[in-house]
Chain A
């Protein structure tokens, strides 16, 4: 563990008492390695380490903590601060329906998350969600969302695969508004952030339905590429938040820090399984501990 590695560092260095430039240097090398192994982005790690170095140097070692524990505390606290606030609540539009748009790379968990988000709204706000099937490309994507809707007893608006996703989204939201549904959750096809046509499609969907929430659905096991895709999606759409999926695995989840750093948008919820259960709120302290390993 990082604690063991840091203990090793401080055993080798003779000066105890204060954290100095010298013993901090070696300790931070270990922290840097731990963060890279946790998939935090290279450049994010660099900036993070230089910030932590400033904070750690000169800190008097607390009586109750060993030097390694002290370093970990500084690192952990800074990670928690960067992770942002604990998720508060789902967004509700003043004038319903609340429109939520889910976006992200292929296979990240958007369609499953759409169902989980619907459950979260219904259980915490006692409202009537509507799901909109705007993925016309992936074989049986519409069937997948329709099946999910049946399983959780949430209606699904779909128009098969022969209509422009922008029209499906627009009509789905109108349908929701006319029948008093709230929120209207629009599931979109997975796409590469470098696919200009498909990114343009998302911008057109956004223009057509004016979402109150645009959530990036990202896989917790994403590696260094997290910053590329997150910054691109954010630049094109101005995200309102992020959902991290597959957090029930053993990926350290450094992508969370990278995505947060590069977009400055809140991580709102986490997906903790394949079953259709409500999304769980994001806990910054738990994420910080997990990343540090």
Chain B
């Protein structure tokens, strides 16, 4: 698309290939390619450079032209619940978020509500120390809702600005685990009106089409207010978010680009569209 070649069927085929390889998915790719082919005919697009602009525009269109930032409202504490399937980067993202809030001068409490996985509480404890956040935890095997409840009580008592609740990874297909998530949510909403103010779904950029069903199911179970797309420092493009934004109306708020505390960025549609075409 940077060359001086012709805008012919071969080029359009390789564009389709790039979209599929980016995990955009068959349906969304077909829609984008139909719109692009119409534009190419109507506007008589001659150069690959122009085609590139058309593509980026269509993608930006599907992603919603505005960027939705992570906001912290008036509530004290502002409660953020973090959910997602196993291994996507929830705990690490929470550490990065806590770090960001601390840099902004906010006080942060973390809830170690993953009481199931080996080493989960220890992992979050180390991060809490590194970022200077308080952590509320129980013993392994404790009721996650009880931990979340205690953390909220503690955050209120200390007048903390932000409470972030770490939950165990869970496959969206496990009904009992999705029920557990609903229970955590119920317990904290009873303790603080409006809580959780933010429920972030963490998705791994290396995941393929399954990310869409993850988003659908988690959204049904626990009203997602934003998505974090992690591991974009790899070679995967995370194109599935185009369908997630377009079909489910969920905003992508943040991206993870590494394993360190400062490896968190606001999602930007223009940069995302740019990265798709290398």
Contact = CB atoms under 8 A, between A and B. Distances in A.
B71 interface: no
Given A42-B17, A192-B234, A274-B117, A107 B204 contact: yes
Interface residues of B, number: 42
A249 B173 contact: yes
A252 B235 CA distance: 21
Interface in B190-247: 204, 206-211, 213, 231, 233-237, 240
Interface string B15-56: 001001111011000000000000000000000000000000
Contacts, number: 135
B122 A140 contact: yes
Interface stretch (B81-89, B154-162, B181-189, B269-277): B81-89
A21 to B, nearest CB: 21
Contact of B85 (A42, A151, A225, A249): A249
B118 interface: yes
A105 B20 contact: no
Given A144-B123, A248-B171, A223 B208 contact: yes
A90 interface: no
Contacts of A223: 23, 206-209, 211, 236, 240
A178 interface: no
Contacts of A39: 23, 208-210
A194 B232 CA distance: 12
B73 interface: no
Contacts of B88: 107
A36 B171 contact: no
Nearest to B30: A33
Contacts of A251: 207-210
Contacts of B235: 192-194, 225, 228-229
B208 A224 contact: yes
A4 interface: no
Interface of A: 33, 36-39, 41-42, 105-109, 111-112, 137-141, 143-145, 147-148, 151, 192-194, 219, 221-225, 228-229, 246, 248-252, 254-255, 274
Q: 10 tightest CB-CB pairs across the interface, nearest first?
A: A223-B208, A144-B119, A107-B87, A39-B208, A140-B122, A225-B236, A147-B118, A139-B126, A251-B210, A140-B123
